[in-house]
């Protein structure tokens, strides 16, 4: 009997250890970027079968995003310092007789140059804009991304800078990870935006990992749970508590919430969970029928501009 147990338990123990090693390795690769200007990151849906198999066995290799686009209006380059000693780069673009200011936050793997069209529109509406590269993105320091957890501090630093520049109302705009970081930062740092615009935030870190597993056709269970566990451990926090849907329950200012029906990263269920948890009664959810996980300003400019203009005019 003991011999039979050994034959069963030892392979099982080896399998558990192997799965945890693979999960820890993949979590590390997913949250650490490399300096490689020649490498272009591909989304999983853009990869062929061979490339997906390579990811399974060797992990994904992600190069740090490059800020290649720059404003075509006068701007001030700003450097902000995090508590861990990282310098973050931002662009301050004031307008004369501003109605207020809008701070823009990009998504995972993006950079501030990705959303210049959105910033341009907000300036046309009479708002000064501030854009920032999150840590480990664009021209900011660092190589480690925490998928919105530690980036909440970056939101706070951007807020403090803009608040030092203007006494006018401040609106926060964020896409995907940027939206998640806003939801975490507002209650954690007691920020007081007049309004918030959210585009496609994930509901929980576990949900975000599950979407990554779906995109490469890997079983979500138990890999998503293992990656969430190890990703949090490696970053110094409990990954299962990083939940924008919970942060949303502390948001009491007006919110414009947008999501694309063709989004393969954020599900309809996630969207409804985050939106329903928003504490404010002044909230609107708009679904772009033909859009995915992308810039709605670029996908359907007229509709996006009308929505944001009406929301800011309230």
pLDDT digits (tens, 9 = 90+) for 275-294: 999 999 999 999 999 999 99
Q: Which of 32, 58, 84 is the last residue of a domain?
A: 58
Q: Which residues fall within 8 angstroms of residue 215, CB to CB, at 6 or more apart?
A: 43, 44, 45, 264, 265
Q: Which of 172, 84, 165, 167 is nearest to 131 (CA)?
A: 172
pLDDT tens digits for 25-65?
Answer: 888 888 988 876 554 555 655 556 665 556 665 666 788 99
The answer to whether position 215 is within a domain reads no
d(CA 232, CA 205): 9
Q: Are residues 38 and 119 in the same domain?
A: no
Is the residue at 232 inside a domain?
no
Residues 171 and 128 in one domain: yes
| pLDDT of 222 strictly over 60 | yes
Residues 151-206 pLDDT 10s: 999 999 999 999 999 999 999 999 999 999 999 999 999 999 999 999 999 999 99
**Considering the domain boundaries, does residue 110 fall inside one?**
yes
129 or 36: whose pLDDT is higher? 129
In terms of domains, do 137 and 178 share one?
A: yes
155 and 264 fall within a common domain: yes
Q: Are residues 285 and 189 in the same domain?
A: yes
How high is the mean pLDDT of the chain?
91
User: 212 falls in which pLDDT band (50, 70, 90)?
Assistant: confident
pTM of the model: 0.91
CB count in 10 Å sphere of residue 130: 26
Q: Are residues 53 and 110 in the same domain?
A: no
Q: Is the pLDDT of residue 75 over 90?
A: yes
Residue 51 has a pLDDT of 57
Q: Is residue 292 part of a domain?
A: yes
Query: Residues 39, 128: one domain?
Result: no
Query: How far is 202 from 301, CA to CA, in rounded Å?
Result: 23
Residues 287 and 178 in one domain: yes
Supply 142's token pair: 């660092």
> Which backbone phi and psi does 223 adopt, to 5 degrees?
-60, -40
Residue position matching structure tokens 């290649």 = 68
For the chain, how many structural domains are there in total? 2
Domain holding 270, by residue range, is 75-204+242-313
Predicted confidence at residue 42, as pLDDT, reads 54
Please check whether residue 152 lies inside any domain of the structure. yes
Could you tell me if 278 and 150 lie in one domain? Answer: yes
Within a domain: 224? no
Does 217 fall in a domain? no
Residue 226 token pair: 């293992």
CATH number of the structural domain spanning residue 146: 3.40.50.1820
Domain-ending residue, one of 30, 58, 86: 58
> 58, 87, 102: which is the final residue of a domain?
58
Q: Collect all residues with Cβ–Cβ distance below 8 Å to 53 and sequence separation of at least 6.
A: none
| 195 and 308 co-located in one domain | yes
174 and 308 co-located in one domain = yes
My answer on whether 100 and 165 are in the same domain is yes
């Amino acid at each position: 009997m003991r011999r039979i147990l050994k034959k069963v338990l030892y392979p099982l123990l080896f399998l558990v250890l192997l799965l945890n090693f693979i999960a820890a390795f993949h979590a590390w690769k997913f949250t650490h970027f490399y300096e490689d200007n020649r490498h272009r990151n591909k989304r999983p849906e853009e990869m062929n079968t061979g490339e997906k198999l390579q990811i399974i066995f060797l992990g994904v290799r992600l190069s740090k995003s490059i800020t290649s686009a720059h404003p075509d209006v006068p701007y001030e380059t700003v450097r902000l310092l995090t508590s861990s000693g990282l310098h973050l780069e931002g662009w301050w673009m004031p307008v004369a007789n501003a109605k207020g200011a809008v701070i823009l936050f990009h998504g995972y793997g993006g950079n501030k140059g990705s959303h210049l069209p959105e910033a341009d529109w907000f300036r046309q509406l009479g708002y000064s804009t501030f854009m920032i590269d999150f840590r480990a993105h664009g021209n900011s320091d660092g190589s480690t991304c925490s998928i919105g957890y530690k980036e909440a501090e970056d939101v706070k630093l951007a807020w403090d800078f803009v608040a030092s520049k203007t006494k006018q109302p401040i609106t926060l705009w964020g896409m995907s990870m940027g939206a998640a970081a806003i939801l975490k930062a507002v209650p954690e740092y007691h920020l007081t935006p007049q309004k918030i615009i959210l585009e496609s935030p994930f509901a929980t870190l576990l949900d975000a990992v599950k979407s990554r597993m779906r995109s490469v056709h890997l079983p979500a269970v138990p890999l998503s749970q293992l990656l969430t566990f190890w990703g949090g451990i490696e970053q110094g926090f409990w990954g299962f508590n990083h939940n924008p849907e919970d942060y949303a329950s502390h948001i009491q200012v007006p919110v414009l919430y947008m999501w694309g029906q063709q989004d393969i990263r954020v599900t309809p269920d996630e969207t409804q969970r985050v939106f329903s948890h928003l504490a404010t009664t002044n909230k609107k959810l708009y679904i772009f029928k033909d859009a995915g996980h992308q810039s709605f300003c670029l996908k359907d400019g007229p509709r996006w501009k009308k929505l944001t203009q009406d929301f800011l005019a309230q």
